[in-house]
Homo-oligomer: A and B are copies of this chain.
Amino acid sequence: MSQIIPVARALRGEIAVGEQVTVRGWLRSKRDSKAGISFLAVHDGSAFDAIQAVAPESLANYASEVLKLSTGCAVEVTGELVASQGKGQSVEIQASAVTVVGWVEDAETYPIAKKRHTFEYLRTQAHLRPRTNTFGAITRVRSTLANAIHNYFHERGFNWINTPIITGSDCEGAGELFRVSTLDLANLPRDGKGGVNFEADFFAGEAFLTVSGQLEVEAYCLAMSKVYTFGPTFRAENSNTSRHLAEFWMVEPEIAFADLADDADLAEDLLKHLFTRVLEEREDDMAFFQQRIDKTVIERLRGVIDNRFERIDYAEAIDILQNCGRKFEFPVAWGTDLASEHERFLAEEHVGRPVVVMNYPKEIKAFYMRLNDDERTVAAMDVLAPGIGEIIGGSQREERLDVLDARLDDHQKEDLWWYRDLRRYGTVPHAGFGLGFERLLNYVTGMENVRDAIPYPRTPGHADF
């Protein structure tokens, strides 16, 4: 009897040499020797590497099937696990049976037959790209990072809160909105004043896709003390850059009885934990990214893990940038936001490790951030990391109703009645931040475009699959 095993278990040495095993997967490549032996690289997604199966011509279907196999075919291989003579692998399978489960219709037109494709091309084959080395590795690292995030919070007593995707509020203030509707566009109900009667829509009013779960998760923070969201968020911005998606996943923790310093500590501890875990758990995939995608990527993660994050005030950052002798494309002045070039200078050149910039001018930050005693700045922070710039943005929230109200207009006050309630009933200092998951994944893998960090990217003009 042979046991069915994931390839990863054999490669990790968990199966003894001499055992009868069966692996099931897809052919990555095949080489037929003149001596009448075929070498099949069988991949099942469980590890970065395929396992080599050696198929002798004595197999009954050798000529009729094995010789005709091409990249992408699904196979089941049974045989003895043996020590490998070849380079780069410790074990291989001496096949006693090769069963073809699914053929590739035409090897010549298989869309990912060739070894090298551009990432742009592979985006048009989003349903097949996880079969490539790069996207298989991204998939495993993404899943590992996500699991590390959930467990980091769960083990520390945080509750995962599934904040709503559809929201009737248009006041969250982080960008342009997608409308969600069931109205018949060919036959819109009218309100008698020339406008659309949204009372007739599914939610009896206008509804949009969320840009952030923060406001809603704050309500849970003020009941459960430690909470986080981790879910999809949306921006209807017409941005065609390597850093923007219309649909992306965001991690947003929120902690009660906490100030901006606590927030920065949480951000630092979380990033260090995640990077440690991915280096441990996905050593094979990370070696690939290091070798083929970005030769600095492991060193960069180690730099985050091993160094205490610097903390500087925004005002100090402006001083540094103005007096560093460097000429920047964008001008530096108190009151303006930092551009990417400034952020990277601070993290990469001035400090040489991650840095948390704190206390920004209130005019450039959102209404919910806590006003500092100087009345010019708010308790906001950005975590800047070498190689990427901003990776986390957060703040202490304004917990004082009168101060919050002074930053809200009448429409916001009405729309956010429930958010204001949180300040009327048992308000406490609290803080949180947002971590864009695809940008994090790019940071970890060295991939450059967030479209390659999510299975099916949504961008202007693209909602395929």
Contacts and interface: CB of A to CB of B under 8 A. Distances in A.
A208 B101 CA distance: 35
Given A8-B157, A72-B425, A216-B456, A465 B256 contact: no
Contacts of A209: 165-166, 180
Contacts of A147: 150-151, 154, 160
A155 B62 CA distance: 37
A254 to B, nearest CB: 12
Interface in A61-95: 72-74, 76
A104 B177 CA distance: 34
Contact of A203 (B74, B144, B179, B460): B460
B180 A455 contact: no
Nearest to A456: B164
A364 interface: no
Interface centre among A136, A176, A203, A234 (most CB of B within 10 A): A203
Given A102-B426, A185-B196, A231-B231, A465 B418 contact: yes
Contact of A219 (B6, B127, B216): B127
A340 interface: no
Given A150-B150, A157-B8, A463-B166, A111 B455 contact: no
A427 B463 contact: no
Q: Which bracket fits the contact residues of A?
A: 35 or more
Contacts of A73: 426
A458 B166 CA distance: 8
A192 interface: no
Contact of A139 (B8, B127, B161, B177): B161
B102 A223 contact: no
Contacts of A24: 225, 256-257, 428
A72 B223 contact: no
Nearest to A102: B427
A158 B8 CA distance: 12
A236 B127 contact: no
Contact of A465 (B169, B223, B225): B169
A194 B185 CA distance: 11
A1 interface: no
A422 interface: yes
Interface in A175-206: 176-183, 185-186, 188, 194-196, 202-205
Interface of A: 6, 8, 24-27, 44-46, 72-74, 76, 101-105, 110-111, 126-128, 130-131, 135-136, 139-140, 142-144, 146-147, 150-151, 154, 157-169, 176-183, 185-186, 188, 194-196, 202-205, 207, 209, 216, 219-220, 222-226, 231-232, 234, 236, 238, 246-247, 249, 256-257, 399, 418-419, 421-422, 424-429, 454-456, 458, 460-465
Given A185-B185, A185-B188, A232-B232, 12 more contacts: A45-B225, A72-B425, A73-B426, A127-B219, A136-B223, A162-B455, A164-B247, A165-B165, A166-B209, A179-B183, A203-B462, A216-B456
26 contacts: A6-B225, A24-B225, A26-B426, A46-B157, A46-B226, A101-B427, A103-B426, A110-B425, A126-B418, A128-B219, A131-B222, A139-B224, A143-B161, A163-B456, A166-B246, A168-B463, A169-B465, A176-B182, A178-B182, A179-B179, A179-B185, A183-B185, A186-B195, A203-B460, A216-B455, A418-B464
Closest 5 CB pairs of A and B: A45-B224, A130-B223, A102-B427, A127-B219, A168-B463
